């Protein structure tokens, strides 16, 4: 929607609606609006329709129609002027005359129920009539109240934005509840008009511009912005701010089919540098910036300037063969007796046996100890490549001191990569360094100059056929220092007896020495280097995932509990109705337990009873029945087409679905009849059911990975399980939560994950392995993208700090990505059972701020904690029965979870578990830490009380060194939860945290 608004005040409903001040003026304005690319005209002044009299509106509409425009009326409905029914009749009358819609300027003037009645009454007569709500200044609660009243769109408070603060993106998220989001321009947008125009077109689904603004900023930018809106077409795309509040520029990403990046300079006086590296590492999903040589990303933005950058999805790596084969592709054959040692390469996982993990656009910093015997110099370089490319990409490594070298690269493709370190004796650097030292010592270097000539001549001869340009450069430099003497000619000269035969060495001039030590000579000799004693380290592997591998918020639900009729089996379509609420809470991933047919034999009843009632649905983990197995859908949930519809709707709401991959079968699973050799049969001929002694799971049997039946039968089982995952990948699923992977062979997982990601490198695997630490880590090494963790049971300060420190320390930090689930259908933590609403707030705050990945099982937002006595299990668990949830349950924490998720999205420092630093506070019931981005543009301070029952106070030792501050300086901070700015003085601050709000989150803006 592209609205051209005529100046003046809104119509108050009396008499005929206003029109333009004369037919000619109206004709001119409509023609101008059409030429500029608008599709709608909004009338706003009383003086503008009068010449048309009683027939004014129809005639005005005829002019609009001729120019391809809709006409909207700007109304200010005030019940004090006229009763509601009168307003309804007025609007119906003008809709009948042809008005396409109304902009309601004061939506807070009527209660929501009156708006519903008014809009419904008009729609009953004119169902296509559009209602727009003027929403700037409305609270979140007021906007939410309007969500179901029939409004098609709301308006952003763009004219009041400082082009830096976070609140505009949060307002946009709230307005999505109404539908489309329109960004209005102000008549005062003059000197920065183009910046405001492109911001409106970019952030909004449409824009509204006051007539005449085009005369100040020029018509061409308006035409271009409107044309861009038409070409972009889609609405509802997720818009997110990538830069922190301390960044000199503001970066905003808009997704959808035509993803773009908007760069803004909020400053009216100073140019803003553009940090390309920061942008590359924060692009959502798998988007990458244009290549640096295209110059599409400016290096700086002039004051008040903006730039729109086209971004694209990363090209996935397509592997052939197995991942292990990559390790055999060394850069060069190994030398028999290398003089150069390459040691302690980082990052590495088990000396390169397993891949390091990064996300696309994330910088990989490689270091190594490299040294050689003697005093000779060496050259060291980093080699890296995507797994499906043969040629190595190279970057010189820089010496850090103490034989430590460093270089970095940024992967821009998904999937497997390789990297290694290569070194050789740098003959020219060794020579030049020795020559320089002798010159500085005042020694005669004529002989050294001659040796340099010989090295240059040898290099020319070596490369003249392969690198003519370098050979030509070296030849010119050699003429400057003189050709080397002919040693054969000199040795043939007669000399007195007893005098050694040496060639005559000419004296070296200062000019010749200067050329020998010049940077031009060094560069040419480096290009001609034959790399003597070259050695390469073993190849290390790198897995590059999409960014959701390290940053996402998970929401788990049982779809069968979502029927609108309590007690009835829910269907996929019922979940679709709940998607807006889950999206509004800020979740990215919707995870569902197994959706496959459930067996009947030995079906479990409520609360894990051994006998099921006739209406008990059974456990979804008892997979398989006559209706099918792991590649089928439980009939009561719907069909595969219904599941596809749920996938589409979930994506449309900016989320994606994760499926549960549980390798277990009910006794009714088709595989038991088709492949009995895949299962374990006891001595009496009965099946061996799943056990975790003393527990028995009579409704489940596990495939036998350790049968003595032979490798052929095992191979067919492995392939069948792989094909299950591939089937769901082909349906569009890109995330799998894997149930109890630690009870299956590690080589199986390494093989299966490599097989799937070879052709679909964007697939992610979450390991649900609450097991021993080394097994948990090994599963991550063999390929699992993320893992459940021990966070669920870390409730005290020392335990939390020790665990997060472990996760932030190499090598664990290089391969293990923790997903902090606060609860699961299997785990109702004791802490939540006894701590009430404050306990749920504490665990939500810890999970959302400490880890880039966190998750919750539905009911957590309602503070559901009813448990079986003495157990960490839910009473009336959804694993065995339907649950009807009251989403408006009193004392819920839906708003708090929504706010925490929005804060995470807006603060890059909170989008990973890495970078955490714990700080001193004189109370063991308060944990205090900071999270900072590598670039330092986003620093968040977090303090959380661990006591759900009483207020806790303490003095925080503020880490002012993080932002280059001094202990006696003042610092400007933003309270992220309350969105208020305040000044903190010095490096100490006393705080009190109570059960009602047991946490604080501050963003560092700048020294005051």
CATH code of the domain containing 468 = 1.20.58
The C-alpha atoms of residue 101 and residue 721 are separated, in whole angstroms, by 56
Q: Would you say residue 608 has pLDDT above 70?
A: yes
Contact 360, 410 (CB under 8 A): no
The residue that leads in pLDDT, 16 or 33, is: 33
| pLDDT tens string 436-477 | 999 999 999 999 999 999 999 999 999 988 899 999 999 999
Query: In this predicted structure, what is the pLDDT of residue 696?
Result: 73
Query: In this predicted structure, what is the pLDDT of residue 223?
Result: 96
The C-alpha atoms of residue 376 and residue 453 are separated, in whole angstroms, by 19
Cα distance between the two ends of the chain: 42
The C-alpha atoms of residue 975 and residue 755 are separated, in whole angstroms, by 47
Query: In this predicted structure, what is the pLDDT of residue 684?
Result: 87
Q: Would you say residue 140 has pLDDT above 80?
A: yes
| pLDDT tens string 703-721 | 998 875 567 778 999 999 9
Per-residue confidence at 775, pLDDT binned at 50, 70, 90? very high
The rounded percent of the chain whose pLDDT value lies above 90 is 79
Query: In this predicted structure, what is the pLDDT of residue 498?
Result: 55
List the alpha helices (DSSP H) in 192-293.
Answer: 193-203, 213-217, 219-232, 276-282
**Neighbour tally for 805: CB within 10 Å:** 12
Mean pLDDT calculated for residue range 111-138? 95
Residue 798, CA distances (Å) to 181, 227, 946, 990 in order: 46, 58, 11, 21
CATH code of the domain containing 82 = 3.20.20.80
The C-alpha atoms of residue 40 and residue 441 are separated, in whole angstroms, by 83
Mean pLDDT calculated for residue range 789-806? 96
φ and ψ of 500, to 5 deg? -65, 150
Dihedral angle computed from the Cα positions of residues 386, 389, 395 and 401, in that order, rounded to the nearest 10 degrees: 60
Query: In this predicted structure, what is the pLDDT of residue 694?
Result: 72
DSSP letters spanning 69-93: -EEEEEE---TTTS-HHHHHHHHHH
Instruction: Please count the CA atoms within 13 angstroms of the CA of 905 that sit on its side-chain side.
Output: 28
CATH code of the domain containing 958 = 2.60.40.1180
Query: How many helices and strands (H and E) does the chain possess?
Result: 26, 44
The C-alpha atoms of residue 585 and residue 114 are separated, in whole angstroms, by 27
Q: Is 755 within any annotated ligand binding site?
A: no
Output the 3-class SS for 550-588. CCEEEEECCHHHCCCCCCCCCCHHHHHHHHHHHHHCCCC
Per-residue confidence at 51, pLDDT binned at 50, 70, 90? very low
Tokens read off for 947: 């006591």
Q: Is 531 within any annotated ligand binding site?
A: no
| pLDDT tens string 889-934 | 999 999 999 999 999 999 999 999 999 999 999 999 999 999 999 9
| pLDDT tens string 218-272 | 999 999 999 999 988 676 678 999 999 999 999 999 988 888 999 999 999 999 9
102 and 47, same structural domain?
Answer: yes
Mean pLDDT calculated for residue range 540-551? 97
Q: Would you say residue 48 has pLDDT above 80?
A: no
For the chain, how many structural domains are there in total? 4
What does DSSP assign to residue 546? -
Candidates 364, 365, 368, 376; CA nearest to 404 is: 368
Contact 372, 558 (CB under 8 A): no
Mean pLDDT calculated for residue range 762-781? 95
174 and 46, same structural domain?
Answer: yes
205 and 254, same structural domain?
Answer: no
Catalytic entry in 214, 768, 878, 947: 768
140 and 263, same structural domain?
Answer: no
276 and 223, same structural domain?
Answer: no
Residue 642 lies in a domain: no
Per-residue confidence at 334, pLDDT binned at 50, 70, 90? very low
The C-alpha atoms of residue 541 and residue 815 are separated, in whole angstroms, by 11
Q: In sequence order, what are the residues at sequence separation of 6 or more whose Cβ sits closer than 8 angstroms to the Cβ of residue 676?
A: none
Task: Examine residue 512 and say whether the peptide bond preceding it is cis (omega within 30 degrees of 0).
Answer: no
Residue 444 lies in a domain: yes
Q: How far is CA 656 from the centre of its chain?
A: 13
The C-alpha atoms of residue 484 and residue 242 are separated, in whole angstroms, by 60
Q: Is 886 within any annotated ligand binding site?
A: no
Mean pLDDT calculated for residue range 598-627? 93
Mean pLDDT calculated for residue range 690-706? 82
For the question of residue 768 being annotated catalytic, the response is: yes
The C-alpha atoms of residue 377 and residue 428 are separated, in whole angstroms, by 9
192 and 242, same structural domain?
Answer: no
273 and 159, same structural domain?
Answer: no
Query: In this predicted structure, what is the pLDDT of residue 19?
Result: 43
Query: In this predicted structure, what is the pLDDT of residue 188?
Result: 73
Average pLDDT, the chain: 91
| pLDDT tens string 829-851 | 999 999 999 999 999 999 999 99
* Burial status of residue 968 (CB atoms within 10 A of its CB: 0-12, 13-18, 19 or more): exposed
Per-residue confidence at 332, pLDDT binned at 50, 70, 90? low
245 and 230, same structural domain?
Answer: no
Per-residue confidence at 516, pLDDT binned at 50, 70, 90? very high
The C-alpha atoms of residue 649 and residue 654 are separated, in whole angstroms, by 9
Residue 876 lies in a domain: no
Does the pTM exceed 0.75? yes
230 and 129, same structural domain?
Answer: yes
Q: Would you say residue 15 has pLDDT above 50?
A: no
Contact 152, 179 (CB under 8 A): yes
Contact 374, 360 (CB under 8 A): no
Q: Would you say residue 546 has pLDDT above 80?
A: yes
Contact 835, 799 (CB under 8 A): no
The C-alpha atoms of residue 241 and residue 732 are separated, in whole angstroms, by 28
The C-alpha atoms of residue 678 and residue 84 are separated, in whole angstroms, by 72
Three-state DSSP at 679 gives strand
Contact 725, 736 (CB under 8 A): yes
Task: Examine residue 399 and say whether the peptide bond preceding it is cis (omega within 30 degrees of 0).
Answer: no
Comparing 467-471, 490-494, 728-732, the range with the smallest average pLDDT is 490-494
Residue 371 lies in a domain: no
Per-residue confidence at 491, pLDDT binned at 50, 70, 90? very low
Domain limit, last residue, from 176, 211, 236:
236
Catalytic entry in 529, 534, 588, 739: 739
34 and 88, same structural domain?
Answer: yes
For the question of residue 530 being annotated catalytic, the response is: no
Q: Is 501 within any annotated ligand binding site?
A: no
The C-alpha atoms of residue 555 and residue 735 are separated, in whole angstroms, by 13
Residue 104, CA distances (Å) to 78, 154, 271, 301 in order: 10, 10, 40, 38
* Burial status of residue 144 (CB atoms within 10 A of its CB: 0-12, 13-18, 19 or more): middle
φ and ψ of 646, to 5 deg? -65, -40
φ and ψ of 140, to 5 deg? -60, -40
Query: In this predicted structure, what is the pLDDT of residue 79?
Result: 87
Domain limit, last residue, from 201, 236, 271:
236
CATH code of the domain containing 249 = 2.60.40
Task: State how beta strands 393-396 and 378-386 pair.
Answer: antiparallel
Q: Would you say residue 47 has pLDDT above 50?
A: no
Q: Is 968 within any annotated ligand binding site?
A: no
Per-residue confidence at 693, pLDDT binned at 50, 70, 90? confident
Q: Would you say residue 494 has pLDDT above 60?
A: no
**Neighbour tally for 444: CB within 10 Å:** 12
Query: In this predicted structure, what is the pLDDT of residue 337?
Result: 64
Q: Would you say residue 1008 has pLDDT above 80?
A: no
Candidates 742, 846, 769; CA nearest to 804 is: 846
Angle at 969 between CA 964 and CA 972, to 5 degrees: 80
Per-residue confidence at 26, pLDDT binned at 50, 70, 90? confident
| pLDDT tens string 624-677 | 999 999 999 999 999 999 999 999 999 999 999 999 999 999 999 999 999 999
Q: In sequence order, what are the residues at sequence separation of 6 or more whose Cβ sits closer than 8 angstroms to the Cβ of residue 694?
A: none
218 and 264, same structural domain?
Answer: no
Q: Is 604 within any annotated ligand binding site?
A: yes
| pLDDT tens string 374-398 | 889 999 999 999 999 999 999 999 9
Query: In this predicted structure, what is the pLDDT of residue 690?
Result: 78
Residue 243 lies in a domain: yes
Q: Where in the sequence is the domain holding 449, given as residue range(s)?
A: 428-485+504-528
Contact 709, 716 (CB under 8 A): no
261 and 279, same structural domain?
Answer: yes
Residue 207 lies in a domain: yes
The rounded percent of the chain whose pLDDT value lies above 70 is 92
Domain limit, last residue, from 236, 271, 301:
236
The C-alpha atoms of residue 236 and residue 653 are separated, in whole angstroms, by 8
Query: In this predicted structure, what is the pLDDT of residue 44?
Result: 65
The C-alpha atoms of residue 399 and residue 405 are separated, in whole angstroms, by 4
Candidates 386, 407, 383; CA nearest to 394 is: 383
Q: Would you say residue 11 has pLDDT above 50?
A: no
Residue 271 lies in a domain: yes
Residue 681 lies in a domain: no
């Amino acid at each position: 929607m592209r609205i051209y608004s005529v100046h003046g005040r809104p119509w108050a409903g009396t008499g005929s609606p206003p029109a333009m001040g004369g037919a000619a003026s109206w004709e001119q304005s409509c023609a101008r609006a059409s030429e500029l690319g608008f599709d709608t005209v909004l009338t706003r002044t009383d003086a503008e329709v009068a010449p048309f009299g009683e027939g004014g509106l129809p005639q005005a509409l005829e002019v609009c129609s001729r120019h391809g425009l809709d006409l909207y009326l700007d109304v200010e409905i005030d019940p004090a002027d006229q009763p509601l029914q009168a307003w309804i009749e007025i609007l119906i009358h003008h809709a009948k005359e042809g008005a396409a819609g109304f902009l309601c300027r004061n939506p807070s003037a009527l209660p929501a129920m009156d708006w519903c009645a008014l809009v419904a009454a008009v729609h009953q007569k004119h169902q296509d009539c559009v209602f727009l709500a003027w929403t700037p200044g409305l609270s979140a609660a007021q906007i939410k109240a309007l969500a179901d009243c029939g409004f098609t769109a709301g308006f952003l408070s763009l004219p009041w934005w400082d082009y830096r603060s976070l609140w505009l993106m949060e307002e946009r998220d709230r307005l999505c509840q109404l539908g489309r989001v329109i960004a209005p321009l102000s008549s005062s947008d003059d000197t920065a008009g183009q910046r405001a125009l492109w911001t409106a077109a970019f952030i909004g689904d449409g824009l509204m511009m006051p007539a005449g603004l085009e005369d100040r900023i020029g018509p061409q930018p308006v035409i271009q912005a409107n044309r861009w809106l038409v070409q972009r077409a889609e609405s509802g795309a997720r818009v997110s701010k990538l830069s922190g509040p301390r960044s000199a520029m503001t970066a905003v990403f808009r997704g959808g089919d035509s993803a773009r990046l908007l760069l803004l300079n909020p400053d009216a006086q100073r140019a803003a540098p553009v940090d390309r590296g920061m942008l590359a590492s924060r692009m959502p999903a798998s988007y990458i910036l244009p290549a640096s040589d295209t110059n599409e990303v400016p290096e700086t933005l002039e004051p008040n300037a903006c730039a729109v950058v086209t971004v694209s999805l990363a090209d996935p790596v397509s592997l052939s063969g197995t991942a292990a084969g990559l390790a055999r592709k060394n850069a060069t054959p190994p030398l028999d007796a290398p003089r150069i040692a390459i040691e302690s390469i980082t990052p590495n996982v088990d000396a390169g046996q397993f891949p390091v993990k990064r996300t696309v656009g994330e910088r990989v910093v490689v270091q190594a100890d490299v040294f050689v015997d003697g005093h000779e110099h060496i050259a060291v370089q980093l080699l890296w490549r995507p797994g499906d490319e043969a040629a190595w990409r190279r970057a010189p490594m820089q010496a850090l001191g103490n034989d430590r070298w460093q270089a970095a690269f940024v992967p821009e493709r998904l999937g497997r990569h390789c990297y290694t370190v290569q070194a050789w004796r740098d003959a020219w650097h060794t020579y030049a360094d020795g020559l320089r030292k002798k010159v500085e010592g005042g020694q005669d270097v004529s002989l050294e100059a001659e040796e340099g000539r010989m090295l240059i001549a040898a290099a020319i001869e070596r490369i003249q056929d392969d690198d003519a340009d370098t050979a030509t450069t070296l030849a010119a430099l050699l003429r400057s220092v003189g050709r080397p003497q002919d040693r054969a000619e000199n040795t043939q000269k007669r000399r007195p007896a007893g005098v050694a035969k040496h060639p005559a060495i000419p004296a070296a001039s200062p000019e010749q020495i200067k050329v020998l030590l010049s940077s031009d000579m060094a560069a040419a000799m480096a290009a001609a280097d034959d790399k003597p004693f070259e050695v390469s380290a073993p190849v290390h592997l790198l897995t590059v995932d999409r960014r959701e591998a390290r940053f996402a918020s998970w929401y788990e639900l049982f779809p069968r509990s979502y029927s609108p009729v309590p007690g009835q089996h829910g269907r996929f379509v019922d979940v679709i109705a709940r998607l807006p609420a889950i999206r509004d809470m800020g979740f990215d991933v919707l995870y569902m337990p197994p959706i496959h047919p459930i067996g009947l034999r030995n079906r479990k009843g409520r609360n894990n009873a051994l006998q099921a009632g006739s209406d008990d649905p059974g456990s979804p983990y008892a997979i398989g029945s006559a209706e099918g197995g792991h590649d089928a859908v439980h009939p009561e949930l719907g069909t595969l087409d219904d599941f596809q519809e749920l996938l589409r709707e979930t994506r449309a709401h900016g989320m994606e679905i994760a499926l549960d991959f549980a390798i277990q079968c009910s006794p009714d699973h088709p595989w038991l009849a088709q492949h009995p050799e895949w299962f374990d049969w006891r001595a009496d001929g009965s099946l061996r059911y799943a056990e975790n002694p003393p527990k028995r799971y009579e409704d489940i049997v596990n495939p036998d990975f350790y049968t003595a039946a032979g490798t052929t039968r095992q191979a067919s089982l492995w392939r069948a399980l792989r094909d299950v995952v591939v089937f769901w990948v082909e349906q569009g699923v890109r995330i799998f939560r894997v149930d109890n992977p630690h009870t299956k062979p590690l080589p199986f997982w390494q093989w299966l994950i490599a097989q799937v990601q070879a052709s679909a490198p964007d697939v992610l695997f979450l390991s649900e392995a609450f097991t021993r630490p080394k097994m948990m880590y090994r599963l991550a090494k063999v390929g699992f993208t993320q893992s459940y963790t021990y966070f669920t049971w870390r409730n005290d300060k020392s335990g939390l700090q020790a665990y997060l420190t472990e996760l932030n320390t190499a090598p664990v930090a290089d391969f293990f990505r923790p997903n902090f689930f606060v609860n699961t259908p299997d785990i109702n933590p004791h802490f939540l059972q006894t701590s009430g609403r404050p306990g749920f707030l504490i665990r939500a705050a810890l999970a959302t701020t400490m880890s880039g990945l966190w998750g919750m099982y539905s009911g957590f937002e309602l503070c559901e904690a009813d448990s079986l006595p003495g157990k960490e299990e839910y009473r009336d668990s959804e694993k065995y029965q339907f649950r009807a949830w009251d989403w408006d349950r009193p004392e819920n924490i839906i708003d708090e979870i929504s706010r925490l998720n929005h804060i995470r999205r807006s603060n890059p420092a909170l989008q990973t578990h890495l970078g955490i630093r714990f700080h001193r506070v004189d109370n063991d019931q308060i944990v205090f830490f900071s999270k900072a981005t590598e670039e330092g543009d986003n620093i968040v301070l977090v303090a959380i009380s661990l006591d759900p029952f009483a207020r806790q106070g303490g003095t925080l030792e503020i880490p002012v060194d993080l932002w280059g501050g001094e202990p006696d300086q003042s610092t400007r901070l933003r309270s992220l939860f309350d969105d208020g700015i305040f000044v903190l003085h010095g490096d100490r601050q006393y705080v009190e945290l109570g059960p009602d709000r047991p946490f604080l989150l501050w963003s560092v803006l700048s020294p005051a």
